[in-house]
Structures are given as structure tokens and as C-alpha cells.
Amino acid sequence: MKQYLDEYVTYLEDVKGLSRSTMESYRADLQGFIAFAAERDVIHPQEVTRTMLGLYMGRLRQQGKAASSLLRCTASLRSFFQYLVRQSVIGQDPTQLLDNPKPERKPPKSLTIEQVDKLLSAPDSGTPQGARDKAMLELLYASGIKVSELVNLSTHDINMEMRFLRCAVSGGKERILPITQIAAESVAFYMQDMREKLIRDADEDALFLNSLGTRLTRQGFWKIIKKYGKLAKIDEEITPHTLRHSFAIHMLQNGADLRSVQEMLGHSALSTTGMYQSTKKSMKEVYDHYHPRS
């Protein structure tokens, strides 16, 4: 098969115009398979079967190859054998029914509980902006809501006494989520003592205001969380989603069941009734028991 590999690489360069590094990646993937086939006395592409291809991919998995490497190798094999079909070297493409390796799903980046404590302690609540930022960070970690949901909150969406918030979702629906006592107290302090120092229009009902007295934007929050990440001396990159991920991971690490956490996050996978029915405890009970700051 080596002669066909050389012809194929030339085709990639002359016709496809691929870069040298890409061509070398294709060549390396295919050389590995050709050597594997030669161990089984298979030297012509016509003799290659789907079973043999599957065995080769199995060997790569046993060698601990990353999912990205498996995907690339599968693509290399497919492209090579499709080329051979077009060149009438083989009559049928053995990769047609070859399964795609499942892409590796890396867990989202999150902070440790200690890092979260440092981040949430970074704002100076003695200033209007600091009190606002403290309330936002506490609320985000307390509820796991998205940043877009956070900045869209209005003053009437928070009930500090009952400790819950209401956020709108698509389709005109809404989610009611519990929050921690600390978050409720932080929001109450901001609303009662500091929000009036930011507001310019008495009719503005946005909960979190910027320096112009209007609703804070997602971009504005991005700058805020980056600022406090530096103040807290957290080396990991912090994005607006970091606290949402941390909320979910810390709840699960503390023993909360996956479906209750998914319900709090508002994942669409919980649209089926069966997932709700399988939760034995109410969402509020699970939240109060398992949230680190509850």
C-alpha cells in the first residue's frame, strides 16, 4: 500500500494544496495503519476490511491515544480510501461503515471552594459598585444562572425574605430558583443602601446598574469578574460562566443528585417528565442541604 500512500500525499499537495504539516499528519496516520495491515499480511488496499479498520482503532485506544487523535486518524483513513475508490484502485470504500470515535468531553473549568470564597470576598461593599459586584457574584454562585439571566434580572425578580429569584427563559416561561442566605443579604444591602446611588431614572427597574444608571451588560460583567479574579489572585482564567460551572460541580461534589442540579441549571434535557419524577427530594430541600454556602 506504500506506493498508493505516496501517490495520495502527492495528490494532497498538488490538488488539495494542503500545508506540509497537515500532509505529514495524514502520512503518519496512514503509515501506522499500513504497518498494522502488513503484520496481518495485508499489502493491497482491496484486502482491507471494516473489521481490520476497527481492530486498528481498538489498538490505538489501548495505546491511550486521545479522542482528538482518534478522530484525526479516522478522517485520514476515510480520505485515503475515498481517494482510492475515485482512482479505481478499489471497488468499495471499507471506511463507509466505520464508527466515528466519540469526542472527548472535558469537564468545564471551575474554581475550588476556597477560590470561590476569595473571589466573593474581593469586592468592597462600602462603595455602590462594590456592593453591586458583591451581590452579583454571590447571586451567580448561589443560583447557577447564566450571566445573561443575571443582568436581565429586575428588582421585582428577587425575594430576599423567601430566598428565591425568578428568571425568564425562552418561550415566555420562567424558573424559580432558591438562593443562599448570604446572597439574599448581599442583594438586600445593595438594593436598600447602594442602588439608589447608581440610579438616575426613578423608573429604571433593572436590578444591577452600570455607572450610567442603566442596566449592566454581559460585557460589563465580563470586565467585573476579570477584575476580581486578579484581586483574589486566582491564576486560572475566569469567565462569566466560571461561577455557574463551579455552582454545579460543588453541588454534585457535596452529594446533590444530578437531576436536581440539572433542574436548577435549566438544562433542556429535563424537558421529559420522567426526569422530574425520579427526584425524591424537592429542589429546595436538595439546595439547602448541599449548597456550600447555604
| Delimiting residues of CATH 1.10.443.10 domain(s) in the chain | 128-290
Residues 264-281: pLDDT tens digits? 877 664 332 222 233 345
pLDDT at 284 over 70: no
DSSP state of 197: G
Q: What is the pLDDT of residues 118-176, one digit of tens each?
A: 999 999 999 999 999 999 999 999 998 889 999 999 999 999 999 999 987 766 778 89
pLDDT the model gives residue 292: 76
The reply to whether the predicted model has a pTM over 0.85 is: no
Q: What whole-number distance in Å separates Cα of residue 9 and Cα of residue 182?
A: 63
208 Ramachandran zone, left/alpha/beta (phi>0; psi -120 to 50): beta
CATH number of 128-290: 1.10.443.10
* Range(s) within the chain of domains with CATH label 1.10.150.130: 2-86
Give me the pLDDT at residue 105, please: 59
As a 3-state breakdown, the chain gives helix, strand, coil percent values, each rounded to 5, of 60, 5, 35
Decide if pLDDT at 290 tops 80. no
Q: What whole-number distance in Å separates Cα of residue 49 and Cα of residue 54? A: 9
Indicate the CATH number of 2-86 among 3.90.660.10, 3.30.379.10, 3.40.50.920, 1.10.150.130. Answer: 1.10.150.130
Q: Beta partners for 154? A: 206
In the chain, DSSP finds a helix count (H) and a strand count (E) of: 13, 3
What does DSSP assign to residue 166? E
pLDDT for res 108: 67
Dist. CA 225–CA 118, nearest whole Å: 12
What's the chain's average pLDDT?
86
What cell was used for 294? 447555604
pLDDT for the residue numbered 274? 27
